[in-house]
Amino acid sequence: MLTEDQRNELVQAARTAQSQAYAPYSQYNVGAALLTTSGKVYLGANVENAAYPVSLCAERVAVFKAVTEGERQFQAVAVVTRDGGTPCGSCRQVLAEFTLDAVVLIANEAGEVVREATVAELLPGAFGPTNFNVQP
């Protein structure tokens, strides 16, 4: 369970990450802050490319940074966009690889949380490690 301070700090961190986005094509800057169960926070910003399919979303940047640092258990993620847009399907699937229980705080640029859900609520019927009868 997140405290109010943790929620505020996570959203603020995502707002900071949003300022680092590289989105010259869409002009849709996204920031993410991922809280691990160890208490560390990993930031991510979307990075676009002229060859659009190779662009990377902020949420996945944060997850991949955490994973490369040895983290595998996530408690929450805050995502900030100008209008409170939700994570895309690919980002939902990447989060589901590690946890269905993590809280997802979706906020607008002003830092107002417009929606709160778990990964499971955002991706019902998720395909994951249990489909292979393995636990990574």
CATH code: domain of residue 57: 3.40.140.10
| DSSP secondary structure letter of residue 50 | S
**Mean pLDDT value across residues 12-16:** 98
Active site residue 59: yes
The whole-number pLDDT of residue 92 equals: 98
- The one catalytic residue in 4, 59, 97, 109 is 59
The whole-number pLDDT of residue 129 equals: 86
Structure confidence by residue, pLDDT tens digits, 35-93: 999 999 999 999 999 999 999 999 999 999 999 999 999 999 999 999 999 999 999 99
Range(s) of the domain holding residue 77:
4-132
